[in-house]
Amino acid sequence: MNQIDRIIPAALRAVPRDWQAARHLALLAGLTAASAPLLAMLYHVLGFDAAGMVVFTGATVMMVAPFTLNAGFSLASARNLFIAALYALKVWLALNLGGIGAPTVSWFVLCPMIALLLGGTRAGLLWAGIVVATLSALFIAEHSGVAMQAFPVSDPALLDLVSNIGLVVLASVIVVLASNSAGVERRAK
């Protein structure tokens, strides 16, 4: 954690809740850095290199988010930058993998989960509203005859499997971080 703390400004380290949120943001950025090459390789194997490039683009923004804290960004701005990059990535994937039925649509749940972890109830509800509106728009567009691009990946079942395993792992990590944060807050009182 000492390496992570080095990128967190002193002002954030002075407030335990902010320090914890900044640490979590940095940890999530690290997970993103580790997983992005694997996802890009998966999309390459599945014959959809454009998705791999979009994954790298979104991941780069997500990885930069904790470093923006030292550039004077607020914790809320860094958090929203991270989540917005994830959200944009998931929108692109949904539009290019079949709309509301895309195997990556379930990953939208991470946006409000991360917002809750890093910013609390208000941020989580805001991102939940954005995600619900997006899912509704995808559904309405599809049922209104708007053709969604369905890229024919070479092995849709493999994409479904990897997508669902990845979501379970990341959602579990977020819940563990949240439960650890709750324990820290209880001990601080």
pLDDT of 149 reads: 77
Length reported for the chain = 189
The pLDDT-based confidence of 29 (bands split at 50, 70, 90) is very high
pLDDT of 187 reads: 55
pLDDT of 152 reads: 76
Cα–Cα distances in angstroms (integers) from residue 152 to residues 14, 31, 47, 93, 95, in the given order: 51, 28, 8, 13, 13
Could you read off the pLDDT of 131-184 as tens digits, one per residue? 999 999 999 999 998 877 777 789 989 999 999 999 999 999 999 988 887 665
- Print the domain residue range for 123: 2-188
Could you read off the pLDDT of 43-71 as tens digits, one per residue? 999 999 999 999 999 999 999 999 999 99
Q: Which residue has the higher pLDDT, 182 or 101?
A: 101
pLDDT of 181 reads: 74
Q: Global pTM?
A: 0.91
Rg (CA), the chain: 17
- Count of domains forming the chain: 1
Cα–Cα distances in angstroms (integers) from residue 27 to residues 64, 149, 153, 155, in the given order: 12, 34, 31, 31
pLDDT of 184 reads: 55
Tell me how many degrees the CA angle 14-63-19 measures, rounded to the nearest 5. Answer: 10
Distance between CA 130 and CA 20 in Å, rounded? 25
Other beta carbons less than 10 A from residue 117's beta carbon? 23
Whose structure tokens read 């923004």?
61
